[in-house]
Amino acid sequence: MRKKLVVGNWKMNMTISETKDFLAQIKDKIDKKNDVAFCVPTISLESAILSLKDIDIGIGVQNIHEKDSGAYTGETAAKMVKDAGATYALVGHSERRQYFGETCEWVNLKAIQAIKHDLIPIICVGETETEREQGITSELIKKQIKIAFLNIPNEDAIKCVIAYEPVWAIGTGKTATTEQAEEVCKLIRETIEELYGLETAQKIRILYGGSVNASNAKELFSMENIDGGLVGGASLSLDFINITNA
């Protein structure tokens, strides 16, 4: 049985003081029978970790660099993130692909780097509205998954988390229907089976993300191939408690 995982992606929101206040309000109310995590702005990483010490809620970042260290002004290495106490790193979020030009190959290098430093990469994939209309969703998702997992051996792949996030559903209030979300998550699991075999496919966790809220979470998370959610906007409010309880 795969344990459900709900991850809040705060994007570029919340100052350090707001982080402390928010986590203090929310930490005891979150249902810990599922895995829960927040991917916070890197500057708030340490205070988020301190705010949640002794509480079983994971903390992660929203991006890492693909190199160990060096002259990469403004970037953050996976090793630094790990040393600060983080557990997760988002890689390949569609906003990174769209605004910062991250390619599938780049996402793969970042996933490898996360694994190297013992962070769990949450590998994001998803199609745009135009790609869905063109009928190329399946082909595109398979390609994104196959490239993201290049050179990642089975024992590491099994620890990764995948987030299916249709770009047209992120921050738009337009959630994919449960059927649409399940169909793509199932396809992702089949692609993982093709790459690594049935055992890994059955163990790897696949999340849905895209306008998840307290009203739609329960139905989405009840689908066979959806193991939880990656939640943007609704993770910034107390509504997130109801999503984790869903």
Shortest CB 22 distance to ligand PEP, Å: 16
DSSP, residue by residue, 194-222: HHH-HHHHHHSEEEEESS--TTTHHHHHT
Candidates 56, 118, 130, 171: give the one binding ligand PEP (CB under 6 A). 171
Nearer to ligand PEP, 59 or 170 (CB): 170
Q: Which is nearer to ligand PEP, 201 or 243 (CB)?
A: 243
166 binds ligand PEP (CB under 6 A): no
92 scored as a contact of ligand PEP (CB under 6 A): no
Burial 158-189 (b: 16+ CB within 10 A, else e): bbbbbbbbbbbbbeeeebbebebbbbbbebbb
| Cα–Cα distance for residue pair 166/52, rounded to 1 Å | 31
Given a contact cutoff of 8 angstroms between Cβ atoms, the answer to whether 187 and 208 are in contact is no
The total of other beta-carbon atoms located within 10 Å of residue 10's CB is: 21
Instruction: Examine residue 107 and tell whether it contacts ligand PEP (CB under 6 A).
Output: no
The least distance separating ligand PEP from the CB of residue 100, rounded to whole angstroms, comes to 14
CB-nearer residue toward ligand PEP: 50 or 238: 238
* String marking each residue 227-246 x if it binds ligand PEP according to CB under 6 A: ---xxxxx------------
Per CB under 6 A, which of residues 126..165 are in contact with ligand PEP? 165
> Cα 120 to the chain's mean position, in Å?
10
CB of 68 to ligand PEP, least distance (A): 27
